[in-house]
Structure 1
Amino acid sequence: MVHEHKRLRCVSVIDSLWVGGTERSLVEQSVGLVDLGVDTTIVCLRRRDRGVHEEALRRGIPVGVLPSTSLPLQVRELRSLVRSLSPDVVHCSLLRASLVARLACVGSKVPLLNSIVNTPYVAVRFRDPAITPWKLHLIRIVDRLTAPLVTHWHAVSGEAARSAIEHLRIPEQKVTVIRRTRDRQRLGERSGERREAARRRLGLSPDAPVLLAVGREDFQKNHVALVRAMSDVVRSRPGAVLLIAGREGTESERIVQTIGQLELESSVVRLGHRTDVPELYTAADLYLTAAHWEGFSGALLEARLSGLPTLARALPQNHEIPSRGEPLDRTVREVNGLEVLRSLEETAAVSPAELTCPDPMETMQEFAQLLLDLAGRGEP
């Protein structure tokens, strides 16, 4: 796409390369863009011991960490770094990194592309016990006031774009939607042998109904609803097990309390952060997500690509994810015990079907073209 002597240079700013869909997507995107003539340098606001930081370095992506922790100093340091690296485009993801990048690029001729990866100002978020409502209102005001500093926006879903247009008052023509995809080869092939091996490693019975949820233990992911659903599930399926794979978060204590109150200690297993999520998809019979909001659920897409039946809350974003149709992939108003039991029963009698999904290279080319357009004209 780009001649070797005209390779495009991109600086991508992110809070950290912690464990999360946005972080993993950035690393995979940076690696894929190399073959399309785009060289990315990732700049983190802080270093995390776990996550995909080391993976990025192993795969040949330069990663730097700003030395300071205060926002004003980070703005100054990033501005200096942009001047020294002379990128063709600066790209940013997540709120703090986006604020730093917007302010650092003031007065610069380098175009700024801001990725919209979540829907942080939906009404339900103000019910999050870990959030102070007036602070979230203030953050939204700051986000909105600095939004005009962005040259163009990239959204991971149509719903993420719609939400940002509404809450940040972004002109619709300044937003390009490029949905995330996943590499099917990284997930591997689903087989009986692989399933048995994965279950042995997890200490699971070969015949137990196994449910899986992937995501950090925060209010957004709503794992508590899945724990409550298990109370009904185990009455009909006594050997059923729910696996929750995700780092601890603001809802961890509440999840533990709910497990204890419902006496589900042997039926709900908190696995913590895992690096073998593809094996978990293979071990499970049904993937569950009851998230209150999403930008784009990469885990839901991965589960479907892995051949795993899914039951998801009917968020607009989840309707944008490729589906094999019912009963393999169902969306419901609320994920509860009755819906889980229905999915287990209906999918047991259905042959697996392969999901038709856009080629990751196609979406990579779309993103590369967006960067090229920005570098060439200042805006697409």
Structure 2
Amino acid sequence: MKADPANESSTLNLRVLHVLHGLHAGGMENGVINLAHGQLQRGIFHDVCALTTSGPFADRLPASSKASPLNKPEGFSFKTCLKLRRLIQTTRPDVVHSHNSSGLIYSAFALALPGIRIPLLAGEHAQLTAGEKAPHRLFIRRWLYRLACKKIHTVSAGQRDELLQLNLAAPEAILSISNGVDTERFHVQSKETKKAAINLPENALVLGMVARLAHHKRHDRLLDAFQQIAPNHPKLHLALVGDRGNAKEAILDAIGAHPFKDRIHWLGMRDDLPEVYPAFDLLVLPSESEGMSNVCLEAMACGVPVAANDSCGATEIIVDGVTGVIRSMPDASAIASHLESCLSDPSVLLTWGQNARRHIERNFSIASMMDRYEKVYRDLLIR
């Protein structure tokens, strides 16, 4: 009897090639690492192509995965398209999964050349920036989506709505897969102990931010806001976790010149975030744009409430006034005002943190995320 292709595809091993700009520390990159580990038992193996350099996250891949850096120079490189094509021909993945604009562009060009018939899944992990909404760039994205991609996925419903409003692809071509978090790895721990472990006073009230040192993350505005509220809260400290990015030099200079620099702690890049988040009393997320912040999910899983800008994705994670607050944060004064409100009664932060943990456990499991991606990958093979 002839096998049912749909049933057969659910038992076959398959290999996915992820194509992204670089394999450095970041939420999207962390998600790829989680997929690589979490789907091994499902017979799904993940390799990663870093268009530029592989970075430290390559060491976190399972032994069954390979990271291949292509060392792309600045600007568009047709030579890199050819390198990617050769990699695809050599590894023969079942699915190519691109991430954000650079991954999409190079994957689409590599797969468009004759001789390769492999489905492309395009992943979008943040709201489109103002530059990406320029008419010519929207035209290119629309063209690539419609001609090269079998499916497009976002990590929040708000992102999906944005792509549909811009008429970039048909509704049936775009799906939303919420990020998930490992609630066993990220869990509630003693705040006092964890504060002491990162050299903060045990009785400090700690605002935390975890992000690449990039302009759109808005560290500068948070530093200015901290200057406004620090005089009112003698025990208030600010801990910044992250490295790399186009604003690193400016941010470190601002910290060095800050009038409250003795209460600002730059912790650099950390590979022990489950041990760092519990030291925070409140995570601050003032970013200009997000998809669905892994940092937000991880902190909440550790019992830390979040004060976030009302960017795409945050409203789908945070229950305003229950697990944190969502407010418009266009400038330092607005951030300062909202933080003052949060800090007016520290006991509320404890309640929000407890609610945050329960909310994540019920609604953002990593198992559900793995299921959704597995279904998409396997569906692409039978189309």
TM-score in terms of structure 1 length: 0.86
2:274 matched residue in structure 1: 278
Indicate how the Cα distance of structure 1 residues 250 and 81 shifts in structure 2: closer, same or farther if over 3 A, else same: closer
Q: Does 1:248 align with 2:271?
A: no
- Please give the alpha-carbon distance, in whole angstroms, between the structure 1 residues aligned to 2:54 and 2:94: 27
- Please give the alpha-carbon distance, in whole angstroms, between the structure 2 residues aligned to 1:154 and 1:2: 24
Instruction: Identify the match of residue 144 of structure 2 among 143, 146, 171.
Output: 146
TM-fit CA distance, 1:171? 1.6
Instruction: Identify the match of residue 300 of structure 1 among 281, 288, 296.
Output: 296
- Please give the alpha-carbon distance, in whole angstroms, between the structure 1 residues aligned to 2:363 and 2:139: 37
1:267 matched residue in structure 2: 263
* Alpha carbons 1:89, 1:112 under 8 Å: kept: yes
- Please give the alpha-carbon distance, in whole angstroms, between the structure 2 residues aligned to 1:279 and 1:156: 26
* Stretch moving more, 195-204 or 357-366: 195-204
* Stretch moving more, 105-114 or 160-169: 160-169
* Alpha carbons 1:31, 1:61 under 8 Å: kept: no
* Alpha carbons 1:159, 1:317 under 8 Å: kept: yes
- Please give the alpha-carbon distance, in whole angstroms, between the structure 2 residues aligned to 1:181 and 1:172: 23
Q: Which digits, 9 at most, give the CA deviation of each residue in 1:31-70, with x for residues without a partner?
A: 21222222222222233443x1011145x32222336657
Indicate how the Cα distance of structure 1 residues 3 and 139 shifts in structure 2: closer, same or farther if over 3 A, else same: closer
* Stretch moving more, 160-169 or 27-36: 160-169
TM-fit CA distance, 1:118? 1.5
* Alpha carbons 1:322, 1:357 under 8 Å: kept: no
Gaps spanning 5+ residues in structure 1: where? 127-132
1:130 matched residue in structure 2: none
Q: Which digits, 9 at most, give the CA deviation of each residue in 1:122-175, with x for residues without a partner?
A: x3x68xxxxxx9xx7655443333232111111111122233334472222110
- How do 1:72-91 residues align onto structure 2 when only pairs under 5 Å count? 72-91=78-97
Instruction: Identify the match of residue 106 of structure 2 among 91, 100, 112.
Output: 100
- Please give the alpha-carbon distance, in whole angstroms, between the structure 2 residues aligned to 1:371 and 1:232: 49
1:338 matched residue in structure 2: 337
* Stretch moving more, 349-358 or 360-369: 349-358
Indicate how the Cα distance of structure 1 residues 322 and 311 shifts in structure 2: closer, same or farther if over 3 A, else same: closer
Q: Does 1:376 align with 2:382?
A: yes
Letter in 2 for 1:158: A
- Please give the alpha-carbon distance, in whole angstroms, between the structure 2 residues aligned to 1:142 and 1:368: 29
* Alpha carbons 1:2, 1:37 under 8 Å: kept: no
- Please give the alpha-carbon distance, in whole angstroms, between the structure 1 residues aligned to 2:126 and 2:364: 21
| CA RMSD, Structure 1 to Structure 2 (Å) | 2.5
Indicate how the Cα distance of structure 1 residues 43 and 138 shifts in structure 2: closer, same or farther if over 3 A, else same: same
1:129 matched residue in structure 2: none
- Give the share of equivalent positions with the same residue, in percent: 21
* Alpha carbons 1:310, 1:330 under 8 Å: kept: yes
- How do 1:126-275 residues align onto structure 2 when only pairs under 5 Å count? 139-148=137-146, 149-167=148-166, 169-187=168-186, 189-192=187-190, 195-259=191-255, 262-275=258-271
Letter in 2 for 1:162: D
Letter in 1 for 2:214: D
**Which secondary structure state, in structure 2, belongs to the residue aligned with residue 43 of structure 1?**
strand
* Alpha carbons 1:36, 1:365 under 8 Å: kept: no
Q: Which digits, 9 at most, give the CA deviation of each residue in 1:8-48, with x for residues without a partner?
A: 22222222211111111001112212222222222222334
Gaps spanning 5+ residues in structure 2: where? 1-6
Aligned length: 361
* Alpha carbons 2:164, 2:170 under 8 Å: kept: yes
Indicate how the Cα distance of structure 1 residues 308 and 249 shifts in structure 2: closer, same or farther if over 3 A, else same: same
TM-fit CA distance, 1:71? 2.5
**Which secondary structure state, in structure 1, belongs to the residue aligned with residue 343 of structure 2?**
helix
1:35 matched residue in structure 2: 41
Letter in 2 for 1:359: S
* Alpha carbons 1:217, 1:223 under 8 Å: kept: yes
2:69 matched residue in structure 1: 65
TM-fit CA distance, 1:180? 0.5
Letter in 2 for 1:300: C
Instruction: Identify the match of residue 56 of structure 1 among 46, 50, 61.
Output: 61
Instruction: Identify the match of residue 121 of structure 2 among 113, 120, 125.
Output: 113
Q: Which digits, 9 at most, give the CA deviation of each residue in 1:302-322, with x for residues without a partner?
A: 111110121111223211115
